[in-house]
Amino acid sequence: MLEELGSKSIISLGNIGRFGRFVWQVMVASSRSCFRVSTYPLVWAQIHAIGVRSVPVIMITGAFVGMTLAIQAYDQLAGMGLEEHLGALINVSVVKELGPVLAAVMLAGRIGGALTAELGTMNVTEQIDAVRSMGTDPVKYLVVPRVLACLLLTPILIIYADLLGILGGYFVSVVQLEINSSAYWNFSASGVELWDVSVGVVKGIFFGGAIATISCYKGFTCREGAHGVGQACTEAFVSSFISILALNFAVDVVAKGIYNTFWTVKSLV
């Protein structure tokens, strides 16, 4: 019993160590490749493959987040007679928290799953060994372009989600709940600062990096057979999801610290 616990924790410590080393290799190789022209076509190909087709699902995610928030918040604010402030509440939540997090979860499913399955299949069919056998670093050739593409793409896709979230919120508030349109925009404009948008976008960079690194790692270490690839995809999604939530919390704590040192906290309503 105790022995089993011990050996399990040794195994998981070993896994953490291997993942740490992988992250380190990816960071070193990425920062080197950033300035090498030969990686740009590879990054571009990845952006094309994973980014473009993610736009619709990301926009749908954003729109529903905005619309749901409007429905939810309306009653509470209306109870206090503050329904005109709805714009500020919706848009701060969308831009800073729910937009980035839900968009990233969507991407973890869409991009992360595809990355793990692709690299996992390459691993099982010895294509990754083939890259190494020809004297090329598979991290540099396969992982770095995907990670760089995700670092660039996720913030941009989050902005798309934000825009649609704002529009969705506007649609429900103004068209359905009949809040005055100019009041909605005025309170939104005074409620949402550049700071909030920046925090959301910075989160996107972290989320993108986490999704790509975890998914590539799971693909690289996937076990043989169709079952192995499937399991790797599941693990990649679960780990990405948890790290998105954890990173979101961490960025919020740091951002709040920074904000409080430079500006005074302002009430939403």
Residues that bind other proteins (CB under 8 A): 122, 125-127, 129-130, 132-137, 141
CB atoms within 10 A of CB 39: 19
Rounded to a whole number of angstroms, the minimum distance from the CB of residue 196 to other proteins is: 40
Identity at 73, one-letter amino acid code: A
CB-nearer residue toward other proteins: 49 or 77: 49
CB-nearer residue toward other proteins: 19 or 259: 19
CB-nearer residue toward other proteins: 131 or 202: 131
Rounded to a whole number of angstroms, the minimum distance from the CB of residue 14 to other proteins is: 12
Rounded to a whole number of angstroms, the minimum distance from the CB of residue 172 to other proteins is: 43
**Contact status, residue 122 vs residue 128, Cβ threshold 8 Å:** yes
**Contact status, residue 69 vs residue 98, Cβ threshold 8 Å:** yes
CB-nearer residue toward other proteins: 39 or 240: 39
> Which token pair is 69?
């928030």
Cα dist. 200→8, 95, 102, 161, 261 in Å? Answer: 38, 6, 12, 11, 19
Total residues belonging to the chain: 269
Measured torsion, CA atoms of residues 150, 153, 159, 161, in degrees rounded to the nearest 10: -70
Rounded to a whole number of angstroms, the minimum distance from the CB of residue 128 to other proteins is: 9
